[in-house]
């Protein structure tokens, strides 16, 4: 057992995706707003962000921090590593002369947790997106021991991308909370009309919600996400808390 496995799981959820641009940030931020509206103590973290394009903080970091009510002076703790280039973190870091390590990433996430709170962590890209020279997002999830939510884009290819992601998670024995299907564009064809029902036939984890496409700068809380008990879903089991 390594030093990561020896630690108890922190209360929270890790949001990963079947690809980049599938709506991970939108979903994670919406969950944070819902929990805050319930009076819950919510923390957020996106340990590394790319594609900041010269800005101090990525758009994802800003969206998450604002949803969780994090004051701007603490945004660097939400995302300790921000890189300009829109490429995999290991490449973006290397181009800046930075060498990321799994231990640093794990510690940056864990420091955001506090007693009585739940921590929502957003990954980058998909499950096998490289974070360091030798580790991926999947390795970070395994080291944290957090249950993960897979956000899948509703489009042609949804079935393949989601099933591939779940297969990797299963092989690596990653804790799985469920799947959220996200419409990043208005449904236009037969694939979008049929893939959710077909996905239900193929997956053996909960299909938590189907988030309909929303347009505008301040989208409303999706009803599908509002119906999920995210607080209960993020809570550690008695065994993980060390209770009998």
**Counted domains in the chain:** 1
Give the Å distances, CA to CA, from 218 to 151, 181, 190: 20, 20, 29
167, two tokens: 């297969």
Choose the catalytic residue: 24, 34, 46, 173: 46
Residue 49 lies in a domain: yes
Residue 208 lies in a domain: yes
124 contact partners, CB below 8 Å, separation of at least 6: 20, 46, 48, 49, 50, 88, 89, 131, 137
Residue 40 lies in a domain: yes
Question: Within 13 Å, how many C-alpha atoms sit on residue 11's CB side?
Answer: 20
Residue 7 lies in a domain: no
Structural domain of 99: 12-236
Residue 244 lies in a domain: no
Phi-psi map region of 242: left, alpha, beta (phi>0 left; psi -120 to 50 alpha)? left
Task: Give yes or no for a contact between 187 and 193, defined as CB atoms under 8 angstroms apart.
Answer: yes
24 labelled catalytic:
no
**Residue 57 to residue 40: CA distance in whole angstroms:** 26
Environment class of 40 (CB within 10 Å of its CB; exposed 0-12, middle 13-18, buried 19+): middle
Task: Give yes or no for a contact between 201 and 230, defined as CB atoms under 8 angstroms apart.
Answer: no
Q: What is the 3-state secondary structure (H, E, C) of 95-132?
A: HCCCCCCHHHHHHHHHCCCCCCEEEEEEEEEECCCECC
What are the strands of the beta sheet with 207-211, ordered from one edge?
41-45, 117-126, 12-17, 147-153, 176-182, 207-211
In this prediction the pTM is 0.91
CATH number, domain containing residue 183:
3.40.50.300
Long-range (24+ apart) CB contacts under 8 A made by 210-213 are: 210/154, 210/180, 210/181, 210/183, 211/23, 211/26, 211/27, 211/30, 211/180, 211/181, 211/182, 211/183, 212/183, 213/183, 213/184, 213/185, 213/186, 213/187
Residue 3 lies in a domain: no
Per-residue pLDDT of the chain (244 residues; tens, 9 = 90+): 344 443 456 789 999 999 999 999 999 999 999 999 999 999 999 999 999 988 899 999 999 999 999 999 999 999 999 999 999 999 999 999 999 999 999 999 999 998 889 999 999 999 999 999 999 999 999 999 999 999 999 988 999 999 999 999 999 999 999 999 999 888 888 988 888 999 999 999 999 999 988 876 556 788 899 999 999 999 865 444 333 3
Residue 242 lies in a domain: no
Residue 4 lies in a domain: no
Q: What is the 3-state secondary structure (H, E, C) of 198-223?
A: HHHHHCCCCEEEEECCCCCCCCCCCH
């Amino acid at each position: 057992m390594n030093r990561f496995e020896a630690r108890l799981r922190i209360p929270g959820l890790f949001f990963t995706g079947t690809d980049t641009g599938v709506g991970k940030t939108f979903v994670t931020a919406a969950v944070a707003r819902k929990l805050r509206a319930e009076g819950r103590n919510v923390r957020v973290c996106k340990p590394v962000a790319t594609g900041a394009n010269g800005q101090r903080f990525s758009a994802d970091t800003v969206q998450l921090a604002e949803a969780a009510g994090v004051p701007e002076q603490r945004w660097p703790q939400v995302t300790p590593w921000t890189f300009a280039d829109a490429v995999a973190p290991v490449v973006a870091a290397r181009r800046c002369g930075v060498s990321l390590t799994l231990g640093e990433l794990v510690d940056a996430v864990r420091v955001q947790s506090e007693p009585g709170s739940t921590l929502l962590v957003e990954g980058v890209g998909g499950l096998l997106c490289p974070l360091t020279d030798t580790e991926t997002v999947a390795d970070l999830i395994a080291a944290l021991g957090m249950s993960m939510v897979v956000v899948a884009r509703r489009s042609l290819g949804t079935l393949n991308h989601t099933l591939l992601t779940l297969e990797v998670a299963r092989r690596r024995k990653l804790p799985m909370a469920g799947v959220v299907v996200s419409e990043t564009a208005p449904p236009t064809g037969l694939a979008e009309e049929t893939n959710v029902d077909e996905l239900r036939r193929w997956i053996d984890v909960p299909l938590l919600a189907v988030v309909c496409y929303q347009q505008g700068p301040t989208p409303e809380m999706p009803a599908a996400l509002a119906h999920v008990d995210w607080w209960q879903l993020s809570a550690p089991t008695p065994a993980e808390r060390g209770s009998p």
